[in-house]
Amino acid sequence: MSSSVAIAVAGLSKRYAFGRKPTTLREAIAYRFQRRQYVETFLALKDVSFNVVQGERVGILGRNGAGKSTLLKILSRITEPTAGTVELRGRVGSLLEVGAGFHSELTGYENVFFNGAVLGMSKSEIRRKLDSIVSFAEIGEFLHTAVKHYSSGMYTRLAFSVAAHLDSEILLIDEALSVGDTAFQSKCLNAMQDLTKTGRTVVFVSHDLAAMSKLCERIIWLHKGEVQADGPVSDVINGYLASGSTVAGTACWRMTKELTFPCKQHPIAITGVDFTDGNGKPLGDFRTGDSLNIRIEYKAVRELKRTNFSVQLRTRLGVEVFRLNTTPISGYTATEPGLSGTLDLHLPSVPLTAGTYVFDLGIGFEQTEWLDYQPGIVELDIAENDVYGSGMALDNSRGILVLPHAWKLVKKT
Amino acid sequence: MIPNKVCIKPSKYVNISYFLEAWQSRRLLLSFIERDLRVRYKQTLMGIIWAVLPPFLSMFVFTLIVNMLGYAEKFGQNQEVPYSLFAFTSLLLWQFFANSISNCTSSLVSQRSLLTRIFFPRVLLPLAAVGTSLVDYIIGFLLLIGLSLWHTLNGGWSWNVTSLPVGIIATVYAVLVAIAMGLWVAALNARYRDVQYIVPFALQMMIFLSPVLYPLSLAREFISPRFLFVYELNPFVGALECFRWAWLGVGEFPRDALISSVIVTVLLMLSGVYYFRVSERVMVDVI
């Protein structure tokens, strides 16, 4: 390992087990004596190798489930690899999920000191940076108030601020980190950009290709746990975009993450999702006003009662457009779903203007508890359509909703 | 020279660098303890008094019951020691064990959000759980000194100040026992939540199966020699008996009990560190 290498990753693999894992002593003991082993495993990372030179800024690119966050978790030492090695030279700071260890009963001041200590700062270091941390977080006179009385914005601002003030030679950033309101988000992005310009080694994970090409010199593209490409920004991004059009095809909807399996904690799970048009044909493109059929496949570990299926649609900015569930909103009885099955939700017309919309699917126990909840699991692109027959295609710059309507001039002088 | 070189690899075995890293983060351990104490006494009326109230109140209850049953003389070793003092000495140490172990049980599981978000030597969490109980114990220890002086001034029993250093050594041993058991329950509970139901029940039983309310000599009278060694395998036995022998200055030095207790503690500690280390590797993925 040459002295200028800050991160050396060699043959890194990480295997996860899912499915029926024994979680109680009784199950663990029974499991030892079972002939058939139900645990399935999958490799989140397969033999990943790369080196990062000191001061280099590297972006990690890939779809959801490609292994980006697993890689960051290993680099930040949160979880151990199954095989392979990583050598890190220098203090590692991470902006992955902020606010680790914040305790709601403690004041902002106390939390800054504890959180700072967990991140690896000494007390004198925190004391020195306290003013800067507090002013960046904009919490002002609330510093000595218990954080349970904070608004969620104040909470995340303070948490981000502590993490951003750690001096480290290596910085791991997950840009998906959503912090506070829009104004603070741009402040965070600026702070992240400033942090990356201080000569540190940076590993940056993002979906935002523009941000990535601005911040990074080199990109590693992960695909299904393997390094697909590694090289200069423009080359890799071009390759990534080219592959995206072939993989996604013409489909206008896509799953954004892996589905789960039913297990002890989630006795029922959504195991398949399919979006078709009103006649059950695959969706080629989807336009405003088209009919939509949402098919949910599920499996359960046991017979359940009083279940409740739910479909919610949001805009990308998080505005809830509608939420439908079998009971009580739709008044449809599917409360005893059996051990597995398929459920359709039919929408004769989706009156939404062009744009990308996000679906949350869930199965709950009555109205009280989620048995399986998959926020943002499906994204649907709705294309422009001339719904009003005026010859003008509507995009969402004119609102997200289309309505049957009629104009009538009733008086004219 | 490049600072902080870290190598991450799948490591099953306990190696030197592991201990070195834990030792280097001792200041973080203090931060954990400080946070736990702060959290504990937030929004309480009596604050730090809670550290000594449980053993102090239990002392009255147990003294009352033992007097009702007419065993106070026998338990107090023929009136050499006032039973209330005997009870407080035992209960103070017992509370330390019981609190340490129940704190350890939840130490990892309750910090799930911390474990899954940030790296630090995981062993700090059960150590902090023991450390927090130790702070309570130290406050209670001051009360024990006060009670000992009070009894000395009122006659009947006199405190030998030379027992202080031996008492401290016995305390250090008690801390080791608590850590050894704590590592096991913490790691087990991260994997199998049954532990959190077993532990409170086990502790409830152990208060009677350890010489807390009665001296070891009494247990020896009633338990047949064939089973006595099983009784003495309990590492609390040696620690409790040794501490009382040192502090109250009565009875014989519990040599046999202490030997088996030390052996069990060493075995528990070695296996505990090993098991904790092995489960630490996958802890974040299963917790």
Q: Of the residues A247, A274, A305, which one is the last residue of a structural domain?
A: A247
Give the rounded percent of residues in chain A with a pLDDT score beyond 70. Answer: 87
If one counts the domains in chain B, the total is: 1
Asked if A206 and A59 count as a contact pair (C-beta separation under 8 A), the reply is yes
Question: For residue B215, what are the domain limits?
Answer: 43-286
| A369-to-A325, A339, A365, A378, B287 alpha-carbon distances in Å | 13, 19, 5, 21, 21
Q: How far is B225 from chain A (nearest CA, A)?
A: 34
- Chain A, 111 to 130: residues with Cβ < 8 Å from chain B are 113-114, 117-119, 122-123
Of A88, A94, A117, the CB nearest to B28: A117
Nearest CA in chain B to A85: B9
Residue B239 has pLDDT above 80, yes or no: yes
Q: How far is B115 from chain A (nearest CA, A)?
A: 7
For residue A272, what are the β-bridge partners?
A297
* Residue B127 is assigned to a structural domain of this protein: yes
Query: B interface toward A at CB cutoff 8 Å?
Result: 2-11, 27-28, 31, 34-35, 38-39, 42-43, 111, 113-120, 191-195, 281-282, 284-286
Of B4, B192, B284, the CB nearest to A90: B4
Q: What is the mean pLDDT of residues A58-71?
A: 82
CATH number at residue A376: 2.70.50.60
- This prediction's pTM: 0.72
**A81 CB within 8 Å of a chain B CB:** yes
Q: H or E stretch including A94?
A: strand A92-95
- Chain A, 135 to 164: residues with Cβ < 8 Å from chain B are 146
* Residue A152 is assigned to a structural domain of this protein: no
Domain check: are A34 and A172 in the same one? yes
Task: Say if residue B27 is exposed, middle or buried (CB neighbours under 10 Å; 0-12, 13-18, 19+).
Answer: exposed
* Residue B29 is assigned to a structural domain of this protein: no
* Residue A359 is assigned to a structural domain of this protein: yes
Domain check: are A179 and A299 in the same one? no
Mutate to test the interface with A, among B9, B29, B108 (most CBs of A within 10 A): B9
Q: Tokens for A344, please give them.
A: 């359709």
* Residue B202 is assigned to a structural domain of this protein: yes
**Half-sphere exposure (CA, 13 Å, Cβ side) for B249?**
12
* Residue B114 is assigned to a structural domain of this protein: yes
Q: Of the residues A201, A222, A247, which one is the last residue of a structural domain?
A: A247
Asked if A352 and A402 count as a contact pair (C-beta separation under 8 A), the reply is yes
Q: In the prediction, which pLDDT does A292 show?
A: 92
Nearest CA in chain B to A81: B10
Q: What does the mean pLDDT of chain A come to?
A: 81
Strands across the sheet containing A268-277: A268-277, A292-300, A340-347
Domain check: are A212 and A293 in the same one? no
The confidence band for A178, taking pLDDT boundaries of 50, 70 and 90, is low
Q: Of the residues A247, A276, A293, which one is the last residue of a structural domain?
A: A247
Domain check: are A194 and A277 in the same one? no
Domain check: are A298 and A393 in the same one? yes
Between A42-56, A97-111, A196-210, B251-265, the lowest mean confidence (pLDDT) is in A196-210
* Residue A125 is assigned to a structural domain of this protein: no
Domain check: are A297 and A367 in the same one? yes
CATH number at residue A48: 3.40.50.300
Q: H or E stretch including B5?
A: strand B5-8
How far is residue A310's CA from residue A299's CA, in Å, rounded to a whole number?
16
* Residue B1 is assigned to a structural domain of this protein: no
What is the distance between the terminal CA atoms of chain A, rounded to a whole angstrom?
A: 88
Residue B199 has pLDDT above 90, yes or no: yes
Q: What is the mean pLDDT of residues A29-45?
A: 69
If one counts the domains in chain A, the total is: 2
How far is residue A310's CA from residue A345's CA, in Å, rounded to a whole number?
10
Between A77-86, A308-317, B72-81, B252-261, the lowest mean confidence (pLDDT) is in B72-81
Q: In the prediction, which pLDDT does A38 show?
A: 57
How far is residue A227's CA from residue A62's CA, in Å, rounded to a whole number?
10
Q: How far is A216 from chain B (nearest CA, A)?
A: 24
* Residue B26 is assigned to a structural domain of this protein: no
* Residue A10 is assigned to a structural domain of this protein: yes
Q: How far is B280 from chain A (nearest CA, A)?
A: 9
* Residue B213 is assigned to a structural domain of this protein: yes
Question: For residue A382, what are the domain limits?
Answer: 253-398
How far is residue A143's CA from residue B9's CA, in Å, rounded to a whole number?
40
Contacts of B111 in chain A (CB under 8 A): 101
Of A24, A90, A118, the CB nearest to B194: A24
Between A63-72, A143-152, A358-367, the lowest mean confidence (pLDDT) is in A63-72
* Residue A117 is assigned to a structural domain of this protein: no
Residue A168 has pLDDT above 90, yes or no: no
Q: What is the CA radius of gyration of chain B?
A: 20
| A398-to-A343, A356, A394, A411, B23 alpha-carbon distances in Å | 34, 15, 7, 27, 62
What is the ipTM metric for this complex?
Answer: 0.81
* Residue A56 is assigned to a structural domain of this protein: yes
Domain check: are A278 and A363 in the same one? yes
Residue B146 has pLDDT above 80, yes or no: yes
Q: In the prediction, which pLDDT does B222 show?
A: 84
Residue A354 has pLDDT above 70, yes or no: yes
Cβ of B114 and A101 within 8 Å? yes
**A70 CB within 8 Å of a chain B CB:** no
